[in-house]
């Protein structure tokens, strides 16, 4: 049976077919849909969100040790968070198969960096598979499980955004059956104290040699011989791009990409006049091949930045003198067209906070989530964004050196706070920092599409869950200055921030309005603009609400008066609160008065 699946859906299908019993993750674009698909369609698999990737990975180690085939999924930067267990898990090895899926984001469509996680396989000395389409994404889960079990190692399945989010036709298979052995105590293998770990590092090194032999014979590293003198070594999505540009070259297509099949590569190089390595981001294959003293070319034609595309591959091959003309052109810079940047939604509960922070002109250390959008004009009030949870530590350090005259405020969402803000807050309490921390609690993991988390009261599989109570948690950590504020009340939000900045010691202000989109769409009565009263002062344009538009009517200086799109307005009231002319009123009021 054939089905059109995204790479992520294909991984979920692969998990089903490989008889995976446990799937664990923290949401992160572009990886999120793997677990969502499992929870929605493959209910025989136990799937859960963990508070962060480190915990997710550790849960996965446990279920694998307990005899269940396990996948753990995350975006590329998530593996930084999980790197601690990952690096040592390479030493202990597994019981039942364990595959960690890292979805990298070349081009940073939805990420803070474009690190190349293939280096993590090298770093931890674990095997890696890289799919180049949805079919391989599915097949490589089962293959990964077999390799993991045969070589007693975790395996890295490295995806990229284009693989995860593109759909292709996948041939489905019947699920296999896997019955693992239960946990058997084995301290020298599983207790990584120095004496045991030294022994295990030897095992890891020997294992790597065996994996090198495996790399030579796996069908996932294959040669396509078209009788050309030009050879291409490539893998992942770059294979597809290159096939489109240069269908008649010879290919060594890599799917099992760490450790590399060096003998196969050397033979391939020997039998061709020129060999070009084409890979996205860093010269991961190229550098390793060159270290072996083999002659290949690559990055000097293609660069290390962003995503490749058939056009970029063609341009690189032209630069290399392999093709004379490029049939497809790269995208020229856009002409003077207006942009359509992402914005905070109409009615977003973060808007009032950024209006207040913008007014106060404090330094704002930001975090990862929708509220990063508060950095964009005209709200323009987020000054840093590094990684999950960084806002709090950043603010502590900034405050410690009096780094910004008007004071520093950290903003962090609920899911991000539970992910890795709690330890930052603990630091603020312990080291008695004067920092003010705003937890923008909208009761959902919003940016990735509305996932549950430990304080939403529901699990990934839709069951009722215990709720972590954020106010009690803060108080238990020792926060004395704690308060909730309604972010739809602009004055109250502004005053709360002003007051807490003045107080000594750490303060926490939590906003308490849910996301307007998820899990339920919130639509209250919309507001409208009374054009008789509107003086076109344009203040309401500066709160960056997509529902507020310029009307055709202008004031005597030619400035446009405002109009509200009532199909978008959620009735949050913020624009009405700041309108100096009281021109923004509830729709029902306008109608009755107008008659």
Partner 1 sequence: MSDSYNILIVGVGGQGVLLASEIISEVAIRANLDVKKSEIHGMSQRGGVVSSHVKIAKKVYSPTIEYGQADVLISFEQAEGLRALDWMKKNGVAIVSTTTLIPAIVTSSKGFNYPDDSIAEMKKKANNVIAVEADDIARELGNPRLVNTILLGVLSTIAPYDQNLWEESIKARVKEKFIDINLKAIERGRQLNPKAVKA
370 binds partner 1 per the rule CB under 8 A: yes
Query: Does the footprint of partner 1 cover residue 527 (CB under 8 A)?
Result: no
Q: Would you count residue 27 as binding partner 1 (CB under 8 A)?
A: no
> Binding segment for partner 1 among 15-23, 47-55, 238-246, 424-432 (CB under 8 A)?
238-246
CA separation for the pair 573, 527 (Å, rounded): 8
Give the shortest CB-159-to-partner 1 separation in angstroms.
13
d(CA 492, CA 167): 48
Cα–Cα distance measured from residue 527 to residue 544, given in angstroms and rounded to the nearest whole number? 16
In angstroms, rounded to a whole number, what is the distance separating the alpha carbons of residues 157 and 165? 15
- Residues in contact with partner 1, total (CB under 8 A)? 55
Paired tokens of 173: 């298979």
Q: Decide: 192 and 233 in contact? Cβ < 8 Å.
A: no
Contact 467, 457 (CB under 8 A): yes
Nearest approach in angstroms of CB 373 to partner 1 is: 7
> Tokens 């030897």 belong to which residue?
202
Among 4, 184, 191, 304, binds partner 1 (CB under 8 A): 4
54 to 93: interface string for partner 1, x by CB under 8 A = ----------------------------------------
Instruction: Return the residue of 15, 34, 355, 373 that touches partner 1, per CB under 8 A.
Output: 373
Q: Is 514 in the site for partner 1 (CB under 8 A)?
A: no
CB of 9 to partner 1, least distance (A): 12
Q: Is 261 in the site for partner 1 (CB under 8 A)?
A: no
Gap between the Cα atoms of 43 and 26, Å rounded: 18
Q: Does 380 bind partner 1 (CB under 8 A)?
A: no
- Could you say which residues in the range 163-202 bind partner 1, by CB under 8 A? 165-169
| Alpha-carbon radius of gyration of the chain | 27
Which of 8/70 has CB closer to partner 1? 8
Q: Are 72 and 101 in contact (CB under 8 A)?
A: yes
Nearer to partner 1, 85 or 369 (CB): 369
Distance (Å, rounded) from C-alpha 304 to C-alpha 506? 43
CA distance 356 to 408: 13
**Residue 204 backbone dihedrals phi, psi, to 5 degrees:** -60, -45
Per the CB < 8 A criterion, the answer to whether 235 and 254 are in contact is yes
Q: Which of 185, 340, 405, 557 binds partner 1 (CB under 8 A)?
A: 340
Q: Does 331 bind partner 1 (CB under 8 A)?
A: yes
Where does this chain touch partner 1 (CB under 8 A) — which range of 9-17, 160-168, 203-211, 223-231? 160-168
| Region for 36 from its dihedrals, namely left if φ exceeds 0, alpha if ψ lies in -120 to 50, beta otherwise | alpha
Name which position in 337, 401, 476, 595 contacts partner 1 (CB under 8 A). Answer: 337
Q: For partner 1, give the closer residue by CB, 109 or 483.
A: 109
Of 168 and 413, nearer to partner 1 (C-beta) is 168
- Output phi, psi for 248, to 5 deg: -100, 5
Beta-carbon contacts of residue 89 (< 8 Å; ≥ 6 apart)? 57, 61, 98, 124, 154
Cα 137 from Cα 120, distance rounded (Å): 19
CA distance 270 to 293: 12
Q: Is 517 in the site for partner 1 (CB under 8 A)?
A: yes
Contact between 310 and partner 1 per CB under 8 A: yes
Q: Which of 181, 338, 405, 476 binds partner 1 (CB under 8 A)?
A: 338
557 lines the binding site for partner 1 (CB under 8 A): no
Nearer to partner 1, 167 or 359 (CB): 167
Would you state the structure tokens that stand for residue 396, as one six-digit string? 């502590």
DSSP 1: -
Find the binder of partner 1 among 25, 345, 460, 583 (CB under 8 A). Answer: 345
Q: Could you say whether residue 333 binds partner 1 (CB under 8 A)?
A: no
Residues 400-439 that bind partner 1 (CB under 8 A): none
Residues forming contacts to partner 1 in the complex (CB under 8 A) are 2, 4, 29-30, 109-110, 133, 161-162, 165-169, 237, 240-241, 243-244, 309-311, 328-332, 334, 337-345, 370, 373, 377-378, 447-449, 517, 538, 541-542, 544-546, 548-550, 560
């Amino acid at each position: 049976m054939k089905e059109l699946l995204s790479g992520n859906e294909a991984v979920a299908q692969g998990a089903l077919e490989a008889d995976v019993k446990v799937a664990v993750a923290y949401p992160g674009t572009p990886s999120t849909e793997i677990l969502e698909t499992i929870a929605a369609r493959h209910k025989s698999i136990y799937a859960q969100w963990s508070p962060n990737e480190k915990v997710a990975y550790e849960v996965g180690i446990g279920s694998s040790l307990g005899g269940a085939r396990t996948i753990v999924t995350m975006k590329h930067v998530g593996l930084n968070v999980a790197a601690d267990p990952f690096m040592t898990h390479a030493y202990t090895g597994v019981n039942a198969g364990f595959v960690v899926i890292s979805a990298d984001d070349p081009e940073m469509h939805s990420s803070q960096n474009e690190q190349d996680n293939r280096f993590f396989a090298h770093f931890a000395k674990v095997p890696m598979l890289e799919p180049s389409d949805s079919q391989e994404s599915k097949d490589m889960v089962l293959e990964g499980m077999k390799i993991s079990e045969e070589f007693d190692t975790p395996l890295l399945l490295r995806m990229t955004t284009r693989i995860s989010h593109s759909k292709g036709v996948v041939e489905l298979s019947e699920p296999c059956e896997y019955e693992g052995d239960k946990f058997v105590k084995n301290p020298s293998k599983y207790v990584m104290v120095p004496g045991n770990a030294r022994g295990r590092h030897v095992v890891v090194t020997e294992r790597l040699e065996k994996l090198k032999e495996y790399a030579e014979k796996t069908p996932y590293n294959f040669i396509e011989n078209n009788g050309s003198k030009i050879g291409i070594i490539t893998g992942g999505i770059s294979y597809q791009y290159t096939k489109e540009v240069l269908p008649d070259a010879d290919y060594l297509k890599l799917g099992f990409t760490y450790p590399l099949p060096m003998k196969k590569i050397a033979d391939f190089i020997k039998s061709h006049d020129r060999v070009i390595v084409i890979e996205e981001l860093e010269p991961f294959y190229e550098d390793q091949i060159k270290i072996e003293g083999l002659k290949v070319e690559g990055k000097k034609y293609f660069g290390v930045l962003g995503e490749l595309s058939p056009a970029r591959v063609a341009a690189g091959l032209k630069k290399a003198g392999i093709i004379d003309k490029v049939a497809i052109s790269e995208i020229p810079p856009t002409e003077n067209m207006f942009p359509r940047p992402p914005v905070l939604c109409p009615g977003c509960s973060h808007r009032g906070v950024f209006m207040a922070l913008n007014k106060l002109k404090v330094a704002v250390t930001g975090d990862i989530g929708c509220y990063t959008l508060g950095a964009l004009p005209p709200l323009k009030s987020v000054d840093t964004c590094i990684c999950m949870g960084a806002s709090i530590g950043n603010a502590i350090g900034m405050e410690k050196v009096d780094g910004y005259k008007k004071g520093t405020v950290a903003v962090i969402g609920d899911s991000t706070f539970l992910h890795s803000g709690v330890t930052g807050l603990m630091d603020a309490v312990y080291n008695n920092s004067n920092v003010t921390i705003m937890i923008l609690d909208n009761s959902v993991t919003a940016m990735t599409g509305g996932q549950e988390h430990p304080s939403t009261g529901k699990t990934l599989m839709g069951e009722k869950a215990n709720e972590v109570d954020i106010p009690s948690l803060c108080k238990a950590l020792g926060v004395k200055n704690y308060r909730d504020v309604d972010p739809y009340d602009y004055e109250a939000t502004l005053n709360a921030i002003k007051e807490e900045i003045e107080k000594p010691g750490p303060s926490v202000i939590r906003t308490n309005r849910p996301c307007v989109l998820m899990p339920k769409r919130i639509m209250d009565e919309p507001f409208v603009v009374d054009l008789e009263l509107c003086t076109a002062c344009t203040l309401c344009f500066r709160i960056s609400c997509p529902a507020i538009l310029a009307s055709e009517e202008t004031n005597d200086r030619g400035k446009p008066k405002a109009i509200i799109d009532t199909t978008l307005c959620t009735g949050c009231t913020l624009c009405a609160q700041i309108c100096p002319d009281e021109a923004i009123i509830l729709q029902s009021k306008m109608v009755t008065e107008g008659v």
